[in-house]
Amino acid sequence: MKRFNFWQKWLLVMGILLVLMGLSFPFCSFLNIEVTYINSVFWDDGIVPTEAKAFQAWIYGVYGAMAAAFGLFIYFIASNSFKAREKWAWNCLAICISVWFVIDTFFSVYFGAYTNAFNNVILYVLLMVPLLFTKKEFVLPHVEA
């Protein structure tokens, strides 16, 4: 019981951290704080051309909104249905986190944004470990008909 509560709260914290991370991207963009590990992938000198700055600000806003929404999704699922041990909540989190990981990591590797792919692996592990340790709480006993 205590172990389940620990992992459930872990997911709540991860959700909050994702919201904060998501909000940081648009703010960095508005404040002209460069994300050098991304910029250096697309521009050899790491300096974003003037004509690309508006697009970058827009895409960071969209990316930040999606990351914040993903964090809220995790937080609300973890605080309600996951906490109540509803099997669909575990499945939903596992599938959604895995879909994000596969697509985001594929494109990061494809375009050479290896730092982002590495960050994805860390985040994936931090999100999936609680699911792995709580899986047995969601398995319904087999009933013979």
pLDDT of residue 141: 59
Q: Which residues, in sequence order, are CB contacts of 13 under 8 Å at separation 6+?
A: none
Looking at the chain, the whole-number percentage of residues with pLDDT higher than 90 is: 70
pLDDT at res. 142: 47
Whether the Cβ atoms of residue 112 and residue 41 lie closer than 8 Å to each other: yes
Length of the chain: 145
Task: Select the more confidently predicted residue: 98 or 49.
Answer: 98
What pLDDT, on a 0 to 100 scale, did the predictor assign at position 28?
Answer: 83
The tens digit of pLDDT for each residue in 69-110 reads 999 999 999 999 999 999 999 999 999 999 999 999 999 999
pLDDT at 38 over 70: yes
Asked if residues 127 and 74 have their Cβ atoms less than 8 Å apart, the reply is yes
Q: Is the pLDDT of residue 7 over 80?
A: yes
- Which residues lie closer than 8 Å to 93 by C-beta, 6 or more apart? 11, 74, 77, 78, 82, 127, 131
- pTM for this prediction: 0.88
pLDDT of residue 140: 65
